[in-house]
Chain A
Amino acid sequence: MTYAFDFSGFGLYAGLLARGVAVTLGLTAVSTVLGGLVGIGGASIAVAGPKWARGVVATYVELIRNTPFIVQLFFIFFGLPSLGIHIDEVQAAILAMTVNLGAYAIEIVRAGIDSIPRGQVQAAQALGLHGRQVFRYVVLPQAVANVFPALLSQVLIVMLGSAVVSQISVPDLTYAANFIQSRNFRSFESYLIITATYLVLSIVLRQLMNRLGRNLFAGRAARGGSDRAPRNWRTRLMWRGARTLPTER
């Protein structure tokens, strides 16, 4: 049996595809920011919080890491309304992706914090920084810089995992594929095009974010810093911030 591939007529759906890309990227961006915050907050609690709070964080992390994303999504989208919490599908998708990414981000950031040598903390204390300042200005920036590649790949995993939000009718890239193939009955071609789009997205996104990481954290990944002002403007600001810190309240 031979099959004649037919990619004609897909031009009709260019708009739909573009919207799918926008929705997928938008969901990923929002949940990356929110999930990153959850990760930093959760990791702070996990290393320095009271015992009960640590227990809560650990339970959250284990629950999320040991259940499939699709079940989390269905639980949130179909389960929460029965508790009287009504959210639409986009909110459910963002919530599920944030909750999911947050749990992994906590683990990753915590590993980053663990990787910071004790000497860094002692040096900061010797400079007169108190507990929270040590964490905020010395430990956290280095920890995040150290684990930035791991965080980045987690973000990409979440983006690819977000394909299942089409199941609760969020109009993302996968939804576009399902829609197109239901119109022109060219299932294989539709999914091939959308799969290729995902591949391009993840390759481009990884490149971009790697570059961003290099810029943001130039010279910050835990090693001895030089006393020279960094060339990059962003690190330069942080560098100056770090220098002026002990005198400010």
Chain B
Amino acid sequence: MVEFTLWDIARNLLLAARWTVLLSLIAFVGGGVVGLILLAMRVSPLPWLRRIVVVYVEIFQGTPLLMQLFLAFFGLPLLGVDVSPWVAAAVTLTLYTSAYLADIWRGCVEAVPRGQWAAGASLGMTFSQQLRYIIWPQALKIAVAPTVGFLVQVVKSTALASIIGFTELTKTGTMITNAAFRPFPIYGMVAMIYFAMCFPLTWYARVLEKRAKVGQHR
């Protein structure tokens, strides 16, 4: 049997953490892009477009992420797409993230006074111009803190990709545990690495939130 020193374990976990970071980034960037499109649909003047996004958000927020991962993993091949756990995880997390971001950002857009839309309209702007030049810059300021806060949830949710066989931090922890039989220090370390990734984000989100509050009082 191979002996694992604590350093071996820590090193392998840290190497695996790269994949957690990468998957989080893909989910966040992809989710941000899809989220923006959904946001535009959600606040559009067309009721049926809004309705689609409402249902989309309801489905992704009302079902377990684990089920979504399973459905993508077993469902995409039915469409003729050959999927690895990588692709299934990336696609699912992107869609999952987009649903939450669209919902968060919708709140921020709605926090901008309605009169701003009307003012834009009175200047002869189209819907997309109003959204792009008037509403979005103002909503963005409100949106930064909750978005950074949500990033923490994205990082944490990548842990579920381990279940469909994507080798990231949690999966590596399980694999090392199976070889080294020392679950307590290994899962402890896994948790610490997640904490090291998430806590700065949590802290930064809090700072941003405080700053936004100070801004409001002025």
Residues of chain A having any CB pair with chain B under 8 Å:
1, 3, 62-63, 65-72, 74-75, 78-83, 156, 160-164, 166-167, 174, 177, 181, 187-188, 191-192, 194-195, 198-199, 202-203
Contact A68 B156 (CB under 8 A): yes
CB contact between A164 and one of B68, B163, B173, B187 (< 8 Å): that residue? B163
Q: Which of B73-81, B112-120, B140-148 contacts A (4 or more CB under 8 A)?
A: B73-81
Contact B162 A70 (CB under 8 A): yes
Q: Report A-chain residues with C-beta under 8 Å of the C-beta of B62.
A: 156, 160, 198-199, 202-203
A-B interface pairs (CB < 8 A), number: 125
Q: Which of B29-37, B125-133, B190-198 contacts A (4 or more CB under 8 A)?
A: B190-198
Consensus secondary structure, chain A interface: helix
Q: Report B-chain residues with C-beta under 8 Å of the C-beta of A167.
A: 163
Q: Report B-chain residues with C-beta under 8 Å of the C-beta of A202.
A: 62-63
Residues of chain B having any CB pair with chain A under 8 Å:
58-59, 62-68, 70-71, 74-75, 78, 80, 152, 156-160, 162-163, 170, 173-174, 177, 182-184, 187-188, 190-191, 194-195, 198-199, 202
A201 CB, min distance to chain B CBs, angstroms? 9
Q: Report B-chain residues with C-beta under 8 Å of the C-beta of A1.
A: 78, 80
State in angstroms the CA–CA spacing of A63 and B179 once bound together. 27
CB contact between A67 and one of B58, B177, B194 (< 8 Å): that residue? B194
Contact A187 B202 (CB under 8 A): no
Consensus secondary structure, chain B interface: helix
Residue in A closest to B182 when the chains form the complex, CB atoms: A82
Contact A188 B67 (CB under 8 A): no
Residue in A closest to B157 when the chains form the complex, CB atoms: A68
Contact B78 A3 (CB under 8 A): yes
State in angstroms the CA–CA spacing of A67 and B192 once bound together. 8
State in angstroms the CA–CA spacing of A161 and B156 once bound together. 11
A25 CB, min distance to chain B CBs, angstroms? 14
Q: In the complex where A74-B173, A198-B64 touch, is A67 in contact with B156 (Cβ < 8 A)?
A: yes
CB contact between B184 and one of A62, A79, A188 (< 8 Å): that residue? A79
B9 CB, min distance to chain A CBs, angstroms? 14
B44 CB, min distance to chain A CBs, angstroms? 25
